[in-house]
């Protein structure tokens, strides 16, 4: 029976010391405790690639409707309609279909000129600098502009919107997030923009969400209510800002640690898409996704009872040697990356995955074209304080 509790090996999502480098802990979990039980915080965790890929899509047992992080699952609060990442079929499928219509491959691909222009606006003023913070100057700037463009948010308001959305993910170091109610998903900060778009339709995601008709779970043909549109907008804004920001930060850190591989990318930019995949595998922004266990399930000889919280350790699965040989090594030439766990799996596979990859590729192309060499000021770099995503809050680099 490979079930180990905190007495032998410990993974605590709120432990800042583990968060500095969680991968040795993940390796021990995969080897010694593929079904892990944390008694202090009352949850189970699965860490192997095979288990995550098999069980995460089984939504009837492992449900999203109570949230995807431990704090939400345990809060028992009711989440608003339209919160895609926190819904189960059939409602999830109905609501997801609306965003599928607007996040088409053609629409995403058509964004490349604007994304490249945003990169140039952020990076060109930095040419000639000897140092700058990659996150503040670029990582936090690019996704904000792209999401603002998609949602039709004026540039003058985009910084305030980004900072408000990001603040919902921040926690005190070593502490769980505190949820008193579901107001953090209400999207109220977008209310004025929704009202404006109702009167002034435009070619943006917000307008399309407001006017697209669908058949809801009760068989009624209708458009989204204002509150549903607000919730959708909040979900898109939060997910879109966070993922790409972290991806750019990890690209900066990892390529500084592997200057030989960075030099290959400079010499041969056609390798950049593969490098983005390896960065996403090696340092995914979200390290786990939580699910509510709806029915008893037997794993590794133990019954995980209904009502439990289960964490699928996506970052651990991405480093599993059984799926990715020598998984703790970073290699831009790695093959077989077709089924990363970074964007999830099954009904909740990330709708913005193609957009994140596009932004990451263009960002790295534009960064390397201007700055082929850099080092990280490790003493002044800092990871963000959050139990849900892992990435750089500040990443000062020196140009050399």
Most confident of 92-106, 122-136, 178-192, 344-358: 122-136
Residue range 144-170: average pLDDT? 73
pLDDT in tens, 231-279: 878 777 777 777 889 999 999 999 999 999 999 999 999 999 999 999 9
Q: Where are the alpha helices (DSSP H) in the chain?
A: 16-20, 23-32, 49-55, 70-75, 91-102, 105-109, 112-123, 134, 142-151, 155-167, 191-199, 205-211, 226-257, 259-267, 272-282, 314-317, 353-370
Provide the pLDDT confidence category of residue 177 given band limits of 50, 70 and 90. low
Residue 283 backbone class (left: φ over 0; alpha: ψ -120 to 50; beta: rest): beta
Residue 152 exposure: Cα atoms within 13 Å on the Cβ side: 21
Q: Is 11 helix (H, G, I), strand (E, B) or coil?
A: coil
Looking up tokens 């939060």 gives 238
**Whether the Cβ atoms of residue 313 and residue 52 lie closer than 8 Å to each other:** yes
User: Cα 343 from chain centroid?
Assistant: 7
| Beta-bridge partners for 302 | 299
The pTM is what? 0.91
Residue 36 exposure: Cα atoms within 13 Å on the Cβ side: 29
The CATH architecture to which 3-399 belongs is Orthogonal Bundle (1.10)
Q: For residue 182, what pLDDT is reported?
A: 47
**Whether the Cβ atoms of residue 339 and residue 324 lie closer than 8 Å to each other:** no
Q: Which of 314, 286, 359 is nearest to 114 (CA)?
A: 359
Q: How far apart are CA 370 and CA 266, in angstroms?
A: 10
């Amino acid at each position: 029976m490979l079930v180990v509790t905190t007495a032998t090996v410990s993974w605590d999502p709120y432990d800042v010391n583990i968060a500095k480098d969680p991968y040795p802990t993940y390796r021990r979990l995969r080897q010694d405790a593929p079904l892990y039980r944390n008694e202090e915080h009352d949850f189970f965790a699965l860490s192997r690639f095979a288990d995550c890929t098999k069980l995460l899509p089984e939504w009837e047992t492992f449900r999203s409707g109570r949230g995807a992080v431990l704090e939400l699952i345990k809060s028992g609060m009711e989440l608003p309609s339209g919160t895609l990442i926190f819904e189960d079929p059939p409602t999830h499928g109905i609501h997801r279909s609306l965003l599928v219509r607007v996040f088409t491959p053609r629409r995403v691909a058509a964004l490349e000129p604007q994304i490249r222009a945003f990169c140039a606006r952020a990076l060109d003023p930095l040419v000639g600098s000897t140092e700058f913070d990659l996150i503040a100057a670029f990582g936090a700037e690019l996704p904000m502009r792209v999401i603002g463009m998609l949602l039709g948010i004026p540039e003058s308001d985009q910084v305030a919107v980004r900072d408000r959305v990001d603040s919902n993910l921040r926690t005190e170091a070593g502490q769980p997030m505190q949820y008193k109610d579901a107001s953090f998903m209400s999207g109220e900060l977008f209310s004025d923009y929704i009202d404006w778009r109702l009167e002034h339709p435009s070619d943006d995601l917000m307008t399309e969400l407001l006017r697209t008709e669908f058949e809801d779970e009760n068989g009624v043909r209708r458009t989204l209510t204002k509150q549903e549109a607000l919730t959708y907008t909040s979900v898109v804004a939060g997910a879109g800002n966070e993922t790409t920001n972290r991806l750019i930060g990890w690209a900066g850190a990892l390529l500084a640690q592997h200057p030989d591989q960075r030099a290959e990318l400079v010499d041969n930019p056609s390798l950049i898409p593969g490098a983005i995949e390896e960065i996403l595998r090696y340092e995914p922004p979200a390290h786990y996704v939580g699910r509510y266990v709806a029915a008893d399930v037997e794993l590794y000889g133990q019954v995980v009872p209904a009502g439990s919280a289960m964490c699928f350790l996506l970052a651990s699965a991405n480093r599993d040697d059984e799926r990715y040989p020598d998984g703790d090594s970073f290699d831009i030439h790695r093959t077989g990356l077709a089924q990363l766990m970074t964007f999830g799996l099954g009904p909740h596979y990330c709708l913005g995955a193609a957009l994140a990859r596009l932004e990451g590729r263009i960002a790295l192309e534009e960064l390397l074209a201007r700055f082929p060499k850099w080092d990280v000021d490790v003493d002044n770099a800092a990871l963000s304080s959050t139990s849900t995503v892992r990435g750089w809050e500040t990443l000062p680099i020196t140009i050399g």
